[in-house]
Structure 1
Amino acid sequence: MSAVPDYLQNIRIILSRTSHPANIGAAARAMKTMGLSQLVLVAPNIMATPMTPEPPEFIAEHATDFRLPEESFILASGAVDVLEQAKIVATLPEALTGTVLSCALTSRRRELTTPLQTPRELTPSLLAAAQNGQTVALVFGNETFGLSIDEVQQCNRLMTISGNPNYFSLNLAQAVQVVCYELFSQVNADMSHLIPERNLATADQVAGMVRHLEQTMEELDFFKRRNQERMVRRLHALFNRADTTTEDVDILRGFFRKVSEKIAKTQD
């Protein structure tokens, strides 16, 4: 039996605002079954259950002090180590730090123009990036509401699991299992032709560059008669679709600095 490839450690499963403690444990079990171990929890919103009548409260300022209830560990079965090593953060940008490809799991069409793709379609590029030492993230939303539009726009890929249009009701842990299975089923495929030669920018590098662009646009009074929030969101989506490289970021931020310097001189 072949060993689990080391590069699967570069694939991060992110659960945002998960409410049922059992789902967190079951998701950890689904991950470990398919060779994944990197779990990040964003602001867990644990609900009361018969097994967890007094759920722990998540406090953003003390995120690292949060402890999952026993119910999560029971449902994790032999994957307790995944839960014990899980990182807990307050926001999605924190969870996406260092990632190059990030997939938002959604079953709804969004206003963003990023195309919806299935796990099977996206898996080759995700594994190729992981093989190349880059960090990949799969982001799952709350059981009831899914991912918000703001959370989706922070990712640069949209993934959807296809199913019966007359009845489609996957449990969160089941969705994690489906995606993790698709990843593991393709680990032995030859993806050398997909490994990028470019240095793709991480999520936080792109976000920082977009903030820099927004500041420069503010200095130019560009938003005077425009919807700033909506426009910045579209710019963020644009750079995510473009697979922006670190070289692109350096060039653009250098340009933004020059523009700011010129503006400052004209105001002296």
Structure 2
Amino acid sequence: MKTMGLSQLVLVDPKPGIFPSDEATARAVSAVDVLDNARVCATLAEAVADCTLVVGTTARERHIGPQVMLPRDFCAEAGQLAGDGEVALVFGRERTGLTNEEVDLCQRLVRIPTQSAFASLNLAAAVQILAYEWIQSAARLPQAAPEGYRPARSEELEGLIGHIDRVIKRTGFFAGKNQDAILRRIRRIYARAALDTNEINILRGQLAATEKTLDSATAEP
């Protein structure tokens, strides 16, 4: 991380004895300060709550979920998507990667091309490749967001998705359907839209109005 200019490390529910540990400190060599300043969170949702762009890494093709991009393509557009906000580069577990629930929190996914027979990179290699593409893109391209653009934070987007879920359930739309698959497609729609805070508020206002209409309908004799 440090060799590529990245210094903000956030660890989600690290295993006891893995961090903090003497072994981790010894392996950090000249980057002990990165470990010393690392933030530990209980969940990924907590870790990325204040980020305006969350990108996960995956070793496999996904047909439902966030848009999957090559590292260089993602890095080229990340600045405009994130605005002045924080970007979270999310890496999964060494053996199993990210869970479906963790992928749901991402607006984009990055897949590093490899030989199909052995597609998974170890964690350190994946971090180094993506960090390299990130710093190269920052040096090569102007990434200023449009003036006045205030991209929504992850917690705002999650609030919208939760609100949509509640309203849809009340309409009966999920009846007889795969609710999880539908919600993942809805997430993908809104992640691709790169909504700003004002747009989130407008959509939630519409949902609140729908809830009032539903309340009135159920209250009528």
Answer yes or no: same fold by TM over 0.5. yes
Distance verdict in 2 for CA 1:45–1:196, change over 3 Å? farther
Which consecutive unaligned segments of at least 5 residues does structure 1 have? 1-30, 47-54, 57-66
| CA deviation map 1:61-101 (0-9, x unaligned) | xxxxxx51111111111111111111111111111111122
- Structure 2 partner of 1:41: 11
- Structure 1 partner of 2:20: 68
Out of 117, 129, 138, which is 2:69 matched to? 117
**Shift in Å, 1:36:** 0.8
| CA deviation map 1:172-228 (0-9, x unaligned) | 112111111111223322415x52342221111111011111111222233233332
- Structure 2 partner of 1:256: 207
Hey, what's the Cα distance between the residues in 2 that align with 1:164 and 1:223? 39
Output the TM-score relative to the length of structure 2: 0.89
Which consecutive unaligned segments of at least 5 residues does structure 2 have? none
Output the TM-score relative to the length of structure 1: 0.74
3-state SS in 2 of match to 1:186? helix
| CA deviation map 1:26-78 (0-9, x unaligned) | xxxxx1111111111112236xxxxxxxx36xxxxxxxxxx511111111111
Hey, what's the Cα distance between the residues in 2 that align with 1:169 and 1:260? 45
Letter in 1 for 2:3: T
Whether the 8 Å CA contact 1:112–1:153 is kept in 2: the answer is: no
3-state SS in 1 of match to 2:139? coil
- Structure 2 partner of 1:11: none
Distance verdict in 2 for CA 1:122–1:100, change over 3 Å? same
| Percent of aligned pairs with the same amino acid | 35
Q: How does 1:229-240 map to 2 (within 5 A)?
A: 229-240=180-191
Paired residues, number: 218
- Structure 1 partner of 2:2: 32
Whether the 8 Å CA contact 1:100–1:134 is kept in 2: the answer is: yes
Whether the 8 Å CA contact 1:129–1:136 is kept in 2: the answer is: no
